[in-house]
Homo-oligomer: A and B are copies of this chain.
Amino acid sequence: MNYKEIFEQISEELRDFDEIGQVATYIPALAKANPNKFGMYLVTEEGHEYDHGDIHENFSIQSISKVLSLVYAFKLVGTDLWRRVGVEPSGSPFNSLVQLEYEQGIPRNPLINAGAIVVCDILVSQLDNPYQEFIEFVRKLSGNPSIDYCEETAQSEKECGFKNNAHINLMKSYGNIENDVDEVLDLYFHLCSIEMSCKDLAQTFMFLARSGKNPLNNERILTAQETKRINAIMLLCGFYDEAGEFAFKVGLPGKSGVGGGIVAIYPDQYSIAVWSPGLNSKGNSSKGIKALELFTTITQSNVFGPTPLFDELEYD
């Protein structure tokens, strides 16, 4: 079986998938998403691409952007980053504020909201024009110069962003925020608002499967060592309170967003993105996780099992 056939099989198996969950409703931009949308896009090390469904339509990548801002800040400040944010999973979400208090304003990891806010604070400190420089970075990774923030989404996020406001103020009280809180949050809300297609998303994350090199121009984004760090963080912290479940079912480093997108990579082999706006009770795309589970089961590409013979999966 090759990737093309595998996509067909998954599509077939998911035809009657009915645990599609609920789209996020806390902001209008997400609430209006069509829950029946579904796309899947695979980019391989060899540069082959495989797709299925709604792969050109843009959606809000939301928390997925936390990986990209983390990578950018990591490039800028290196391991100094870890003095301001941890690398450990965060446990259940109920105590995010108490954990911040207990750990003196140091977020557990850069993929929870508090951690991503610290990352934004670093970008604000380090960059002359963080908005412009960050989106250029994303455009270069994706190869798509039209990728952009969605102002409407950013504005909506801001209007209901009281909990993020509580987090940043608490961190500021501990001295872990350097800049004005409103300025940092504005960047944070913009990062959440970035829109991409499945195709863009798979392409954008491919450098994490390539030991840190952008596949489009072989530019080194991160060292091989740094790339492993990011991948480890994604596997341990990328799926809210469902990391263990995802690690078992899918078994790849990845990241999800409440817009229904998920991206995952297999080192040295591929990057895969799925999109389906319905979320399960943990806030991850319900159909998206199922599709990835089928994909890694069929291809046997789960980092907790034997390495598959990827060559045989490529379309000739």
Q: Which of B92, B101, B236 contacts A244 (CB 8 A)?
A: B236
A251 to chain B: which residues have CB within 8 Å?
Answer: 228, 232
Is A70 an interface residue when CB atoms closer than 8 A count as contact? no
Q: Which of B88, B253, B305 contacts A91 (CB 8 A)?
A: B88
Q: A84-102 vs B: 1/0 string, CB under 8 Å?
A: 0011111110110111011
Q: Are B228 and A302 in contact (CB under 8 A)?
A: yes
Name the segment of A3-11, A164-172, A189-197 touching the other chain: A164-172
Kindly state the separation between the CA atoms of A8 and B78 in the bound complex, as whole angstroms.
32
A103 to chain B: which residues have CB within 8 Å?
Answer: 92
Kindly state the separation between the CA atoms of A169 and B181 in the bound complex, as whole angstroms.
13
A243 to chain B: which residues have CB within 8 Å?
Answer: 88-89, 236
Interface size on A, as a range, is 35 or more
Q: How far is the CB of A168 from chain B (nearest CB, A)?
A: 8
Q: Are A306 and B268 in contact (CB under 8 A)?
A: yes
- A166-B167, A169-B162 given; A88·B236 CB < 8 A: no
Kindly state the separation between the CA atoms of A99 and B232 in the bound complex, as whole angstroms.
25
Is A17 an interface residue when CB atoms closer than 8 A count as contact? no
Q: Are B228 and A305 in contact (CB under 8 A)?
A: yes
Q: A152-184 vs B: 1/0 string, CB under 8 Å?
A: 000000001011011101101100000001000
Is A224 an interface residue when CB atoms closer than 8 A count as contact? yes
A303 to chain B: which residues have CB within 8 Å?
Answer: 267, 303-304
Scan residues 231-251 of chain A and give those whose CB is less than 8 A from a CB of chain B. 231-233, 235-237, 241-245, 247-248, 251
- A228-B305, A236-B243, A247-B232 given; A94·B102 CB < 8 A: yes
- A91-B90, A92-B91 given; A253·B304 CB < 8 A: yes
A267 to chain B: which residues have CB within 8 Å?
Answer: 303-307
Is A108 an interface residue when CB atoms closer than 8 A count as contact? yes
Q: Are A244 and B87 in contact (CB under 8 A)?
A: yes
Chain B residue with Cβ nearest A212 = B305
Is A56 an interface residue when CB atoms closer than 8 A count as contact? no
Q: Are A97 and B99 in contact (CB under 8 A)?
A: no
Q: Which of A243, A244, A267 has the most CB of B within 10 A?
A: A244
Q: Which of A108, A165, A243, A305 has the most CB of B within 10 A?
A: A305
Is A109 an interface residue when CB atoms closer than 8 A count as contact? yes
Q: How far is the CB of A118 from chain B (nearest CB, A)?
A: 14
Q: Are B87 and A92 in contact (CB under 8 A)?
A: no
Given A91-B108, A232-B244, 15 other A-B contacts at CB below 8 A? A87-B244, A88-B242, A95-B101, A97-B97, A97-B101, A162-B169, A162-B181, A224-B305, A228-B248, A228-B302, A228-B305, A232-B251, A236-B243, A236-B247, A253-B304
